[in-house]
Amino acid sequence: MSDTITTPHRLFFTPSRASRELGLKRGELDLAVHLGLIRTVPDEGGGGRRVPRTEIERLRTGEGFPESLRHRVQVVGTTEGADVMGVPPGRFTRLARLGLVVPVKWYLNRYRAVVWLYLAEELKQSAADEKSAPLLHARRMPEGPRGLLDAGLDLRARNWRGRHRGFLLRLAEDPWESAGALAAFLDPVQIAEIVPDPYERSHLNRFRPGPPAAGAPGSPASLIAGRIMTADDPDEISLLRADLASVLEEARDRRPAPRPTGKRTPVPTHPAHVGSPRTEQPELPEQRERRELPGRPEELGRPEEPQPPRGLLSRFRRRNRRATTT
């Protein structure tokens, strides 16, 4: 009996335990899972995802472990990223807005400003790419990209959404979860247009994850997170709508959304009419008046009859009648 209970704990690790086994911080482990560097499986007991022991052993036997794994999940902000690429911070921000470097994470600082984080390894690769040299080292940004920046182009949020969407789709186990991953980046109005059926929409929302760092519902942090998570570019919205509609067709074919069964609660019937539904008849005005009058039903409507006098006064009247008679 004890072996049956403890075997799952030997074969699978919670994220916290797995991070200790691999010498990673919890955030580094989550990012490694996000990037597909560490495989996870769903917990059959509904306790979130777990890391198989075989995956821990595979990573431990890798070359240069644990430094090599830690290096692959190292993230930097704007200032450090600029140092990695050998450019001023202002130039680095412009490169990120143009989409030449793609953020992998973000958070809100104490001033509620969005801080974008980038993979250091990717920045080194971009800096070594000869195609990036004109934008990295030219004294002046070329006219085409400069015009886009002047027009307000900023692809950081969109590029992050693309990465995060890929992460959610990798974790999806069935078409409904895939549909929820796509719907996570559309606002409710868009979803209602694609999924007009309220039962399907309710079922879809069960699989629709929120932003990774949302804060309390209705808080300023939550509103900012929702804005970053929601697609705002027409091309991006069009692509998401088409993908969602396609995945929903597969989801409906495989497992339709649950809906009410339509069963009615049986109504008690009189023994003399077993098997016949009892129909409630509207109460007529005269019935209501009779019900509201006092007394027994057989007395309703009769004229009031005189009642014999009682008490001290009646005895006094009877005494006077006897005295008069004598």
**200 and 149: one domain?**
no
Q: Examine the fold and report which residue of 237, 254, 271 is the final residue of a domain before the chain moves on.
A: 254
Whether residue 98 contacts residue 113, with contact meaning beta carbons closer than 8 Å, is answered with no
Coil, strand or helix at 117:
strand
**pLDDT of 49 higher than 50:** yes
Structure tokens at 283: 């109460």
Residues 187 and 226 in one domain: yes
Do residues 171 and 238 share a domain?
A: yes
Q: Are residues 97 and 114 in the same domain?
A: yes
Q: By residue range, what is the domain housing residue 142?
A: 75-153
Rounded Cα distance, 57 and 168, in Å: 25
pLDDT of 215 reads: 76
Domain boundary among 254, 278, 305: 254
Is residue 259 domain-resident? Answer: no
In a domain? residue 283: no
> Does the residue 321 lie in any domain?
no
Query: Chain-wide mean pLDDT for the chain?
Result: 82
For residues 216-239, average pLDDT: 93
The residues that bridge with 119 in the sheet, in sequence order, are: 75
Count of domains forming the chain: 3
pLDDT for position 213:
75
The residue among 125, 153, 181 that closes a domain is 153
Pair of tokens at residue 303 = 């004229």
Which has more confidence, 241 or 297? 241
| Range in 65-79, 195-209, 302-316 the model is least confident about | 302-316
For 145-158, give the secondary structure using H, E and C.
Answer: HHHHHHCCCCCHHH
Q: What is the reported pTM?
A: 0.74
pLDDT of residue 297 exceeding 50: no
pLDDT beyond 90 at 100: yes
Whether 182 and 139 share a structural domain:
no
